[in-house]
Amino acid sequence: KIGIKCSLSKRRPQVLKNEANGKVQQPAVPRVRLSSRSSDYIVEDLVGNGAFAKVAKCVKSATKEMVALRVVKIHTKSDLQREHEILLKLRYFNPDECNFVKWHCSFMYKRHLCQEFELLDMSLREFVTMRPTRSLHLKEIQTILYQLATTLEVLKRLQVAHCDLKLENIMLVDHVRQPLRVKVIDFGSACNASNIAHGAYIQTRWYRAPETILGLPCSEAIDMWSLGCIAAELFLGHPLYPGSCEYQMRQFMIQTQGQLPGYFLSAGLKRSLFYWRTWKYVDLQETTRVWRYSISI
């Protein structure tokens, strides 16, 4: 049960929620105190700032343990329940062996979900940025991919798709003492693969699978596509498909992978955004209907 009431201590220079506009505020001021029934947290620094959540580096007052506190603005109860159920499923697996972030607990503050996780070092994006070429050696990439493939294998067993695998959501545990040791974070977009709606707007664009773009039925395999894009980016030093829109993404994919079979295109809910259907002349007695790309390649 995660409906634990919590409040902010009166000793605070800044509140977590702006009472005027109802928006989540960044707990960026040092020594902000956040209290739940079970623990008090003192914010040390803001270490993450995403579209739907902020992540603060905190120290637990009682134990002096450093943790990461993720503060999420919840839009619907289903959003809250979906992620919580997935985190509960992951508890049956060892996070150190399966390479995903360890979740400790969750509690609510009004419409804010606060999640306590183990504190990790830096994102893979930050790590590669430290390299002059923004790329890694092949053996380094192999080490990272093996760990991520282990995580995806666990998610497949659970029939769960992460839906947002990218460099920013892969963290190094300790880039000095445990070089190349990584863990997957941010299960806020994750869901049961069978519940992914056709045409759903999921995955970050550069790592978005063809079936997601075209509105085809999706499975856990969309994460494997993202993993392939990550592998290429780590080697090249730049994104494999840096499209500014889905049209450009399809162009890049066709240039490198070729065209999809017609029966795949026929099943795509968003195919009309990229293709139009016409007749192809075969011989004097026969013509056939084919899909043509609507943008020059």
Q: Spot the catalytic one: 40, 164, 186, 223.
A: 164
pLDDT at 18: 41
| 73 annotated ligand-binding residue | yes
**47, 54 Cβ separation under 8 angstroms:** no
Cβ distance 115 to 67 under 8 Å? no
How far is it, in rounded angstroms, from Cα 21 to Cα 26? Answer: 14
pTM: 0.83
> What's the pLDDT at 291?
52
Q: Supply the pLDDT for residue 292.
A: 56
Q: Please give the CATH topology (third level) of the domain spanning 33-118.
A: Phosphorylase Kinase; domain 1 (3.30.200)
Residue 12 is predicted with a pLDDT of 38
For residue 190, which amino acid is it? Answer: A
pLDDT digits (tens, 9 = 90+) for 147-165: 999 999 999 999 999 999 9
Q: In angstroms, how far is CA 188 from the centroid of its own chain? A: 7
- How many whole angstroms separate alpha carbon 43 and alpha carbon 60? 9
Domain assignments of the chain as residue spans, ordered by start:
33-118, 122-272
Judged by DSSP in three states, 198 sits in: coil
Would you state the structure tokens that stand for residue 6, as one six-digit string? 């919590």
Q: Are 163 and 193 in contact, with CB atoms under 8 Å apart?
A: no
Amino acid at 191: C
Nearest to 160 by CA among 205, 100, 120, 231: 100
pLDDT at position 149 is: 98
Range 122-272 classified under CATH 3.40.50.1970: no
Residue 160 in contact with residue 193, Cβ under 8 Å?
yes
Q: What is the DSSP letter of 208?
A: -
Which string of DSSP letters, residue by residue, matches 50-105?
-SSEEEEEEEETTT--EEEEEEEE---HHHHHHHHHHHHHHTTS-HHHHTBPPEEE
- Let me know: does 289 contact 280? Beta carbons within 8 Å: yes
In this structure, are residues 171 and 119 in contact, taking their beta carbons and an 8 Å threshold?
no
Buried b (16+ CB within 10 A) or exposed e, 243-281: beebeebbbbbbeeeebbeeeebeebeebeebbeeeeee
**164 annotated active-site:** yes
Residue 107 pLDDT:
85
Residue 272: per-residue pLDDT: 74
13-31 per-position pLDDT tens digit: 343 444 334 444 444 446 7
Q: What secondary structure letter does DSSP report for 206?
A: G
**Sites in the chain below the pLDDT cut of 70:** 1-30, 74-75, 109-111, 275-297
